[in-house]
Amino acid sequence: MDKNRLIKISRGDEPAELVLKNAKVINVFSKTIEEEDIAISDGIIVGLGSYTGKEEIDLSGYYISPGFIDGHVHIESSMLTPNYYGAATLPRGTTSVVADCHEIANVAGKKGIDYMINASKNSVQDVFMMIPSCVPSTPYESNGATLLASDIESYAEDRNVYGLGEMMDYVGVVHANKEVLKKIDKYKNLIVDGHAPNLSKKELNAYVLAGVKTDHECVSPDELIEKVKRGMYVHLRQGSQTKNLVDLLPGLSPGIYDRVMFCSDDLHPNDILNVGHMDENIRLAIANGLDPIIAISMATINIAHCYRLDKYGAIAPGYYADLVVFKDLKNLDVERVYKKGVIVAENHKLLYKVKDYIPKDLLDSVYVHLKDINLELRLKSIDVYVMGLIKNNITTKKVKAKVILRDGLFLPKDNPGLLKLAVIERHHYSGNVGFGIVKNYGLKNSAIAMTIAHDSHNIICLGDNDDDMYQAIEKIKDIGGGIVLVSNGQVLEYLALEVGGLMSLKDVKYVENKLILLEKEMRNLGVKEDIEDPFLQLAFLSLAVIPELKVTDKGLFDVEQFKIIPLEVGE
């Protein structure tokens, strides 16, 4: 970049490479809209005002916003590789993402992190990587790797790394666990993301004092306000399963606005293609009364300031020409997207071909011996704990129930409305199987198995009979990971997720079509309509840091007590 030449262009002495003329430019600093030209050269905004260019595009009647940034996302949860994820979300105006790669890290450790960093370098979309802080998320499960402070120390010096991923072990932080504090200390010059639902008062003080800067787990407006008052940035999350954006909006006020950001966290292809990405967060906030420029700021400059993303998040001299063009401010529909001055998408269509990075050493990640797996669930009592599902949420209820046993065996077909949940360790051939009982998911005469099971990503299998469950697990092994649906001994549909059992080697449309077929079959087999995303609902039944009951490969986990408990009440 020749700064002297750019300064000449900025002064108006030379024409710019590209000038976007007469647009309504959204200024996220002054929170105003100004009709002016945007002069661009070398992918940089060189000036605002009246300019001439070698190429000029008249955008009279259009608004131009800074490119949107997703403040916290797990790319792997889209089931897409970084390049295909960028190809899916760029047409929605998301020109950059802050990504925490702890899903693949739980499967493949540093090898998985290295893949995500290297693959992201080839993406047109900028990926600002956060290094996973809690691998595994708890000691009560088996995963593919354990990452200590010494294992992740070197990443803090990597120019592609922007901080430490969500610190889910807030208990360890608050109680000054030495290993946890070592990790935070290694990243003290970067940003440390948080994950602390309901943390308040003195415990929150300790969490912030330790160096944690953000949180995306607020459950109420009061919690958002308290965390902002303690100096944190707070994400309003709108994912496929967990949606708290609208619930938290009442906590916003002029003194709060600059510390609030948007994120997706976990978003499936169907929602990206048919609902939206950060553009949907903005639309939803505006529809619920938020000023449009404030909403756009939460998807741009607020995130850039939080994560120290110089040259991103605004339309001003010296900033990258990451731009979103649209006509209606209150019902934002992205028409054009520019990435560093080059148009990359128009009318929701990508304008470049994806060149993907194939990770050969991550294509074989399902390590189970079927002969070692025993799916029989024997109980000592008919009084048991059941996992109650909550609509649009990844939390569950700890419910007491009575079940019918046959010679000590729990058989779902003898217990209408209840299904057997099994989590099978798939990283070390241990043969571990943990069990739970799930209420009101709705599957009949069938079983579904997945290698997406947060956060350790063992095989999670839900069904009403052992034969279909065994067959689903066997097919999972054959395809190297993914999602498999079996009914009455027949594989009805499956999606192969070859990369670590989490990501497909295909594009978003292929993945979406497969998920549509799977979901259609599942609905036909009785999965309830109030389970909005049956895949994410299942995937989070093993996340042992979210209340109340979850299942790991080591058994039924009570999150409030933070320990493995028997299925039987009182045992």
State the Cα–Cα distance between residues 527 and 442, nearest whole angstrom: 4
Asked if residue 548 has a cis previous peptide bond (ω within 30° of 0), the answer is yes
Coil, helix or strand at residue 271? helix
CA torsion angle 562 566 568 571 (round to 10): -90
Q: 331 vs 35, 295, 441, 532, CA distance in Å? A: 20, 12, 35, 24
Q: If 0-12 CB within 10 Å is exposed, 13-18 middle and 19+ buried, where does residue 107 land? A: buried
**Own/partner pairs for 7-11, CB < 8 Å, 24+ apart?**
9/39, 9/41, 9/46, 9/47, 10/39, 10/46, 10/47, 10/317
241 has a pLDDT exceeding 80: no
pLDDT at 379: 97
Q: What is the DSSP letter of 216?
A: S
Parallel/antiparallel/unpaired status of strands 53-58 and 490-496:
unpaired
pLDDT at 494: 98
Q: 432 vs 23, 275, 437, 462, 555, CA distance in Å? A: 61, 39, 17, 16, 9
Q: 156 vs 24, 44, 191, 432, CA distance in Å? A: 40, 27, 10, 35
Residues found in the chain: 571
State the Cα–Cα distance between residues 493 and 516, nearest whole angstrom: 10
Residue whose pair of structure tokens reads 């262009």 in the numeric block: 9
Q: Half-sphere exposure of residue 419, counting CA atoms within 13 Å on the CB side? A: 26
Pull the structure tokens for residue 360: 């050969």
State the Cα–Cα distance between residues 94 and 532, nearest whole angstrom: 24
State the Cα–Cα distance between residues 58 and 44, nearest whole angstrom: 19
Residue whose pair of structure tokens reads 């989590």 in the numeric block: 423
State the Cα–Cα distance between residues 325 and 64, nearest whole angstrom: 5
Q: What is the DSSP letter of 423?
A: E
Q: If 0-12 CB within 10 Å is exposed, 13-18 middle and 19+ buried, where does residue 347 land? A: exposed
Average pLDDT rounded to a whole number, residues 360-379: 95
Residue whose pair of structure tokens reads 């790797």 in the numeric block: 145
pLDDT at 545: 84
Average pLDDT rounded to a whole number, residues 116-132: 96
pLDDT tens digits for range 421-469: 999 999 999 999 999 999 999 999 999 999 999 999 999 999 999 999 9
pLDDT at 173: 96
Query: Whole-prediction pTM value?
Result: 0.94
Query: 53 - beta bridge partners?
Result: 16
Position 493: which residue type?
A: E
DSSP assignment of 16-73: EEEEEEEEEEEETTTTEEEEEEEEEETTEEEEEES--EEEEEE-TT-EEEEPEEEEEE
- pLDDT confidence of 570, banded at 50, 70, 90? confident
pLDDT tens digits for range 34-83: 999 999 999 999 999 999 999 999 999 999 999 999 999 999 999 999 99
CB 156 within 8 A of CB 188: no
571 has a pLDDT exceeding 80: no
User: Shortest CA distance to 494 belongs to which of 503, 502, 506, 486?
Assistant: 486
User: With pLDDT > 70 as the criterion, what percentage of the chain qualifies?
Assistant: 100
108 has a pLDDT exceeding 80: yes
Parallel/antiparallel/unpaired status of strands 16-27 and 63-66:
parallel
pLDDT at 275: 96
Domains annotated for the chain, with CATH where assigned, are 68-309 (3.20.20.140), 363-565 (no CATH)
Mean of per-residue pLDDT scores for the chain: 96
Coil, helix or strand at residue 153? helix
Give Cα 534 to chain centroid, integer Å. Answer: 16
Pull the structure tokens for residue 275: 């609902």
Q: What is the DSSP letter of 541?
A: G
Asked if residue 455 has a cis previous peptide bond (ω within 30° of 0), the answer is yes
State the Cα–Cα distance between residues 481 and 500, nearest whole angstrom: 7
pLDDT tens digits for range 261-303: 999 998 999 999 999 999 999 999 999 999 999 999 999 999 9
pLDDT at 419: 98
CB 344 within 8 A of CB 124: yes
240 has a pLDDT exceeding 90: no
185 has a pLDDT exceeding 80: yes
- pLDDT confidence of 195, banded at 50, 70, 90? very high
pLDDT at 356: 86
Count CB-CB contacts under 10 A for residue 553.
25
568 has a pLDDT exceeding 90: yes
DSSP assignment of 352-376: S-------GGGS------GGG----
pLDDT at 132: 98
Provide the edge-to-edge strand list for the sheet that holds 446-450.
396-402, 383-389, 433-439, 418-424, 459-463, 446-450, 482-487, 490-496
pLDDT tens digits for range 384-409: 999 999 887 788 999 999 999 999 99
User: Shortest CA distance to 470 belongs to which of 374, 545, 547?
Assistant: 374
State the Cα–Cα distance between residues 335 and 24, nearest whole angstrom: 14
State the Cα–Cα distance between residues 307 and 213, nearest whole angstrom: 10
522 has a pLDDT exceeding 80: yes
Coil, helix or strand at residue 173? helix
pLDDT tens digits for range 298-352: 999 999 999 999 999 999 999 999 999 999 999 999 999 999 999 999 999 999 9
Pull the structure tokens for residue 359: 């990770």
